[in-house]
């Protein structure tokens, strides 16, 4: 009987008797299931792009506008600037008096500031703004950089990461499949596609522990994201983007062959039933949050053991963390507002054995493309681009600092500049006691670019010295690297994701600024103050506001009337961005950067929207 699964009660014993003799059927090099690969990879692209994509800005700065100049007409071309200086604001006020009835101001604020820095994405899963697409291209360029670096004669951590990424991307051109490596991996985790034996982890608590291991060690849980964070702290969240991507994938009969089980109608029906149950669970969790966008839930610092939810035992989360990671149940964690409700919904809609089977299928469907070249897509296709992003996600999980070092090595000047910017913004926000709780530390501690234990080439190479050198079989090499990563990571160190797409404020209050934000269009060490503050500065301010926001202060009556959205429109982030923008303006004024009177332009914002955005901001100052 196949080690990936025996007969399922939902399939029937007759099916088992028919499939048992053929359990070792394997895909030949000629059996290329390209028909389903396109649909399979498009679903993956949606989740991977959203999981990886930060919010990137165009940083063009115009200057030379005096604070005492006469009002000027909005530019004829699509300028899209937002003003800081008094002269620019006076110009906007002049036109706002006559044009205000034409456009609703807060909608414009959302589209410009909230749209730039917010987290809402379109129905298709891809970002509505140009920044998301630009960052997608930047990650593709990272792949090209790694390709060149892998061919260089140098050694060290960066070469290992670049080679591993190159080998993943080369799977599509390989003439060999490695199904046996995937089957061994699934056996190691006791994953079964049907009728698991009594020894399989099918109880509610053991299924949770399985997802903790998949999330922490391999990044392969479609339910959870778990990563090391600051000392004695974990970052835990629902893997929302990837879960939705997983649910968009059609059933693929060819992955059964990769797993070594016979394709059958019964198994397809089982897979579809599991899929439908998970869709219901996700829909139920989503409906619980309908109408909650008008109120931001304050972030709460808890211990890992407090994350248990209905459906598992009270000690389940703490037990799983201690069993599957080097962290203790007393480790700190910032509890995401939707975590417990989402997990509760999944455990409510799916019996633990069914959730176990769904998990087994999902792991197989994620990793099949890593051992079967025919599933990676043809050159230049959408599915090949999706596979490239998947490779980046897989390599980043086990060697993220080394990949980040291919992009940028942080200088002492950049650390000092960003730390000073953060302290100035925090000083302003610290005075907003009506809205924000006291900071954990004053001024906040700041980590810029990379975790301290790998913030130089020497330290980076020392950390990864014991990691295996890739030998050309990607999935096998990646599993060995993942095992080395698990052994090397210490809960006593400060960790964060240096390739992340946003500023993070950790459980202990430390501000974490990843590498992608230290380059144009977010920041430039010799760039104008308007560009740096309007990009990276706003991200820092917004995250500090979100982290320390008091309960009950973001209801509709709090937001200035001129800045309220029409009834029924999304309101995510309006309050937070208004407050962040105000302190960025204060810091900008303190720089006396008169030659930099404007924020970076956003090409999609027209001059009228600029006028009303400024009108909204002007009226908000009496409150903030």
Q: How far apart are CA 454 and CA 502, in angstroms?
A: 20
User: What is the mean pLDDT of the segment spanning 408-419?
Assistant: 93
Strand arrangement of the beta sheet that strand 504-505 belongs to = 446-449, 511-514, 504-505
pLDDT at residue 66, rounded to an integer: 30
pLDDT at residue 377, rounded to an integer: 80
* CA 67 to centroid of chain Cα atoms: 40
Please return the burial class of 70, using the count of CB atoms within 10 Å of its CB with bins 0-12, 13-18 and 19+: exposed
Alpha helices in 170-289 (DSSP H): 179-188, 204-213, 240-248, 253-259, 265-287
Examine the pLDDT at 416 and tell me if it is beyond 80.
Answer: yes
Q: CA 121 → CA 53, 148, 236, 517, distances in Å?
A: 11, 33, 21, 20
pLDDT at residue 324, rounded to an integer: 97
**pTM for the full predicted model:** 0.75
Examine the pLDDT at 96 and tell me if it is beyond 70.
Answer: no
User: What is the mean pLDDT of the segment spanning 143-164?
Assistant: 86
Element of type H or E holding 228: strand 224-228
Element of type H or E holding 334: strand 332-335
User: What is the mean pLDDT of the segment spanning 83-105?
Assistant: 43
Closest by CA to 515, choosing from 394, 400, 390, is 400
Share of residues in the chain with pLDDT > 90 (%): 39
pLDDT at residue 564, rounded to an integer: 55
Closest by CA to 310, choosing from 424, 208, 453, is 208
Q: Is the peptide bond before 443 cis (omega within 30 degrees of 0)?
A: yes
Q: Is the peptide bond before 521 cis (omega within 30 degrees of 0)?
A: yes
- Kindly report, residue by residue over 499-542, the tens digit of the pLDDT: 887 889 999 999 999 988 887 767 888 877 777 887 788 889 98
Quickly list DSSP for 261-324.
----HHHHHHHHHHHHHHHHHHHHHHHTTTT-TTSPPPPEEEEGGGG--TTS-TTHHHHHHHHH
pLDDT band, residue 471 (cuts 50/70/90): very high
């Amino acid at each position: 009987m196949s080690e990936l699964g025996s007969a399922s009660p939902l399939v029937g014993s007759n099916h088992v008797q028919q499939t048992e003799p053929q359990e070792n059927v394997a895909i030949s090099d000629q059996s290329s299931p390209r028909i389903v690969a396109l649909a399979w990879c498009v679903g993956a692209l949606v989740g991977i792009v959203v999981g990886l994509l930060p919010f990137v800005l165009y940083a063009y700065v115009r200057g030379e506008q005096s604070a005492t100049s006469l009002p000027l007409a909005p530019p004829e071309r699509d300028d899209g600037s937002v003003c800081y200086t008094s002269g620019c604001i006076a110009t906007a006020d002049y036109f706002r008096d006559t044009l205000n009835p034409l456009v609703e101001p807060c909608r414009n604020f959302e589209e410009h500031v909230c749209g730039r820095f917010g987290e809402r994405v379109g129905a298709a899963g891809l970002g509505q703004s140009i920044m998301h697409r630009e960052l997608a291209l930047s990650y593709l360029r990272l792949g090209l950089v790694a390709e060149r670096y892998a061919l260089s004669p140098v050694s060290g951590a960066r070469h290992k990461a670049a080679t591993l990424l190159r080998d993943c991307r080369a799977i599509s051109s390989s003439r060999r499949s490695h199904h046996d490596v995937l089957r061994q991996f699934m056996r190691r985790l006791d994953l079964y596609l049907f009728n698991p034996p009594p020894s399989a982890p099918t109880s509610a608590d053991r299924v949770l522990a399985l997802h903790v291991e998949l999330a922490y060690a391999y990044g392969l849980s479609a339910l959870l994201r778990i990563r090391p964070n600051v000392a004695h702290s974990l970052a835990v969240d629902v893997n929302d983007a990837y879960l939705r991507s997983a649910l968009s994938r059609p059933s693929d009969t060819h992955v059964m062959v990769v797993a070594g089980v016979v394709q059958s109608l019964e198994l397809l029906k089982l897979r579809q039933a599991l899929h439908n149950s998970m869709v219901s669970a996700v829909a139920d969790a989503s409906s619980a949050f309908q109408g909650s966008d008008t109120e931001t839930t304050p972030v709460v610092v808890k211990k890992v053991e407090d994350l248990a939810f209905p459906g598992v035992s009270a000690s389940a989360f703490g037990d799983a963390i201690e069993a599957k990671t080097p962290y203790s149940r007393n480790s700190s964690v910032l509890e995401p507002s939707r975590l417990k409700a989402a997990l509760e919904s999944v455990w409510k809609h799916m019996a633990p054995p069914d959730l176990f089977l769904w998990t087994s299928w999902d792991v197989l469907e994620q990793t099949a493309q890593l051992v079967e070249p025919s599933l990676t897509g043809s050159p230049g296709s959408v599915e090949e681009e999706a596979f490239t992003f998947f490779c980046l996600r897989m390599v980043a999980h086990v060697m993220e600092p080394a990949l980040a070092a291919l992009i940028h090595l942080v200088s002492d000047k950049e650390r000092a500049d960003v730390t000073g910017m953060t302290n100035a913004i925090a000083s302003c926000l610290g005075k907003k006691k009506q809205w924000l709780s006291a900071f954990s530390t004053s001024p906040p501690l700041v980590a810029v670019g990379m975790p301290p234990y790998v913030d130089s080439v020497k330290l980076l190479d020392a950390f990864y010295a014991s990691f295996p050198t890739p030998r050309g079989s990607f999935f096998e090499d990646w599993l060995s690297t993942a095992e080395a990563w698990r052994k090397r990571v210490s809960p006593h160190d400060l960790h964060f994701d240096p390739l992340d797409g946003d500023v993070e404020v950790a459980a202990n209050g430390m501000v974490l600024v990843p590498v992608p934000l230290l380059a144009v269009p977010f920041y430039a060490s010799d760039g104008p103050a308007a560009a740096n503050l309007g990009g990276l500065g706003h991200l820092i301010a917004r995250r500090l506001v979100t982290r320390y926001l008091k309960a009950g202060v973001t209801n509709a009556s709090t937001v200035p009337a001129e800045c309220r959205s029409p009834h029924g429109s999304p309101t995510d982030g309006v309050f937070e961005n208004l407050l962040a923008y105000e302190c960025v303006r204060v810091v900008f004024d303190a720089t006396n950067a008169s030659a930099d009177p404007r924020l970076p332009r956003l090409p999609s914002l027209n001059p009228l929207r600029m006028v009303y955005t400024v009108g909204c901001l002007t009226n908000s100052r009496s409150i903030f």
